[in-house]
Amino acid sequence: MTIAVTKVRVEDKLYQNRYLVDSGRPHIIVRPHDKPSANLLALTYVCPAKCYELNDKGQVEITADGCMECGTCRILCEKGGDIEWNYPRGGFGVLFKFG
Amino acid sequence: MIEQFDAIVVGAGMSGNAAAYTLASQGLKVLQLERGEYPGSKNVQGAIMYANMLEKIIPDFRDDAPLERHLVEQRLWVMDDTSHTGIHYRSDDFNEAKPNRYTIIRAQFDKWFSRKVREAGATVLCETTATELVRDGNGKVIGVRTDRAGGVVFANVVVLAEGVSGLLGTRAGLREMPKPETVALAVKEMHFLPEEVIGQRFGVKGDEGCVIEAVGTISRSMAGLGFLYTNKESISLGIGCLVSDFAATMESPSALLDAMKNHPSIRPLIAGSEVKEYAAHLIPEGGYRAIPQLFGDGWVIVGDAAQLNNAIHREGSNLAMTSGRVAAEAIIKVKSRNGPMTKANLALYKTMLDDSFVIKDLKKYKDMPALLHTNSSNFFDSYPRLMSHAAQNFMRVDGTPKIEKEKNTTAAFINARSRWGLVSDAVRLALAWR
C-alpha cells in the first residue's frame, strides 16, 4: 500500500515536467531475464522517476516515458548487462523549464 | 560536402559553453552539439554560480546574465528527526558592487550563456545527440557521429563536455563509467512563492539571497546532503546521496525528498508553495582519484565528464567553467604555434589545469570521498543525533546539575561510538581534510 501511494506521488511530480516522448522508440531497454539482479531490483525503488516496476512474474519492466535522463540505472545496470542504455534522440525526452 | 571545424564541443552545459565561447571568441571555427531542444533543457543544478570563474570568461556578465539573488547568508544545518543545529554565516560585506556568488536557474542561465557563445561566432546545433567518436587509422579522434541522417562532422579536436553520464567518452573507452560509489543521485523540486514571502522567511531583502545546506538523518544513514537555495520567486530544494547507498538501502529518492520537505525545520519555509518542476541528476563525487585521463590524440575531457567536482565545498559549475576555459586556452596555444592536436601537444591542458585551483582543491580532499562513503552511518546518522541530544540536554533547565548533564553527553557519545571510534573518526577526518 505504501508503495502504491509513493508511486502516485511520483507520477504527480512528473506531471509537472515537460516531455517530448519518442513514441515506439524507448531509449532504455531491460534485457529479458528470469530473475532480476540485485541492482536491477533496486531500480524499482531507486529510479527517481519510478520508471522500473516489478511485473507479476517477478521480472523488472521499464516504462521510460517519465525518465529524467539522470543515468542512475546506467551506473547500476549497464555494465552487468541488465539494461541497454541510450539517451533519447536529439530533441526528445525531458525538457527542463528550470533545471 | 564535408565541413571541417577547428573544434567540436559536445554539450552545452557550463564546461561546454565556457570552452565554445573561449574558442570562438579567439576566432576558431567551432561547432557545438547539444541534444536538448535548447541549451539548458537537459541541464540540472542546484544552483549556485560563482562570479569569479565566469568573470574570467565574460567579464561584464552582470550586465545581462539572468541572475536570481546574490548570497549574503549561508547556513549549515546538522539535523535529526525534529531539530537542526546550525552554523550561520551572514555578512553585509557580500552586498558588494560585484557580488561573489549568485543563485541561478540553469535553463535560463544556459540559454543566456549559449547566446553569448553564438555571438562569439560558434555554430550551435541543438536537438542533436552525439553518439560516437570518429577516429582515423591511427586512432586519432577526427570527428563525431550524430543521430542526424548522414550526421558525421569533423574537427581537429573534440572537447567532451558531455556531462557525468556522457556517451562518447565511455563508449570509446577514454574514460570509465562512474561507479555507484563515485556518483550521487540528487533530486530537486522548484517551489514557487512570492518574492516578498521568500524575503520574510529567509530574512533577506531585495536581491539578497540565503543558502541552507543540511546534513544528518534526512539522508537516512546514506552519505548525502540536502539543500535550499533562494531564487527570486522560487526555492530550489533538493537532496542527493551516493548511488551505491541508494542501491544498498533501496530508499526512494522522491520519498526522501518528501520527508525532507516535512521536516519541522523546513516545512514552514516552503509552506504554501507551488511546485513547478521535479528534476533528477547525477553528481560526480569521486574527487581527485576518479579523474580520468583528460586528453589524448584529438580530444580533451572537461567538466562533470572529467569528474571535476568538489563535493566537500559543493562547487561544480565553477570547476566546469574553468576546465572548459583552460582546455580552450590550451587548444588555442597549440593552434597558434601551428601544432597538430596530438596527445603530446594537448598535454598542455593538463599542465595548465594542474596549476589552477581546480586540481589543487580536488587533490586536497582526495581521501574525503572514501572516508564519507565507508563511514556514512556515523557521519550522517549517529553524530547528528548525538549532537542534537547534547544541545537539548544543555538547553533544557530541569534541575539536573550541570556536571551530570556533561557526563550524560559524554557517555552518550562513547556508548554510540566507543572512545576508540571517536578518536579514529576524528583523526581520519582531520587527515582527509588536510
Q: Does B298 touch chain A (CB under 8 A)?
A: no
Nearest to A16 among B147, B246, B277 (CB): B277
Residues of A in contact with B12 (CB under 8 A): none
Residues of A in contact with B127 (CB under 8 A): 90-91
> What was the pLDDT predicted at B368?
85
Task: Using CA coordinates, name the residue in chain B closest to A2.
Answer: B255
Nearest to B107 among A75, A87, A98 (CB): A98
Task: Using CA coordinates, name the residue in chain A closest to B276.
Answer: A16
Cell matching residue A19: 516531455
H-assigned helices in B59-154 = 106-119
Decide if pLDDT at A2 tops 50.
Answer: no
What domains lie within chain B, and their CATH numbers? Answer: 4-68+104-176+292-364 (3.50.50.60), 181-284 (3.30.9.90), 369-433 (no CATH)
H-assigned helices in B38-122 = 51-55, 106-119
Residue A5: pLDDT band (50, 70, 90) is very low
**E strands within A1-99?**
18-20, 28-30, 52-54, 60-62, 83-85, 93-95
> What was the pLDDT predicted at B304?
98
> What was the pLDDT predicted at B240?
97
Q: How far is A26 from chain B (nearest CA, A)?
A: 15
CB < 8 Å from A in window 232-261 of B: 234, 236, 243, 246-247, 250-255, 258
Residue A8: pLDDT band (50, 70, 90) is low
Q: Does B69 touch chain A (CB under 8 A)?
A: no
> What was the pLDDT predicted at B209?
98
CB B159 within 8 A of CB B323: no
CB < 8 Å from A in window 378-417 of B: none
Q: What is the mean pLDDT of residues A28-51?
A: 97
Nearest to A76 among B147, B148, B247 (CB): B247
Question: Is there a contact between A98 and B127 if contact means CB atoms under 8 Å apart?
Answer: no
Residue B379's nearest CA partner among B310, B433, B319, B434 is B433
CB B330 within 8 A of CB B300: yes
> What was the pLDDT predicted at B424?
84
Just give the CATH number of A18-94. 3.30.70.20
Decide if pLDDT at A68 tops 80.
Answer: yes
Cell matching residue B261: 520537505
> What was the pLDDT predicted at A3?
44
Kindly report the pTM of this predicted structure: 0.94
Q: Does A7 touch chain B (CB under 8 A)?
A: no
Q: What is the overall mean pLDDT for chain A?
A: 91
CA angle at B378 for the pair B312 and B360, rounded to the nearest 5° = 20
Report how far apart the first and last C-alpha atoms of chain A are (Å, whole number). 32
Instruction: Work out how many CB contacts closer than 8 A connect A with B.
Output: 141
> What was the pLDDT predicted at B428?
83
> What was the pLDDT predicted at A6?
47
Tell me the per-residue pLDDT of B147-203, one tens digit each, with 9 for 90 and over: 998 889 999 999 999 999 999 999 999 999 999 999 999 999 999 999 999 999 999
Give the residue ranges of chain B where pLDDT is below 50.
1
> What was the pLDDT predicted at B427?
83
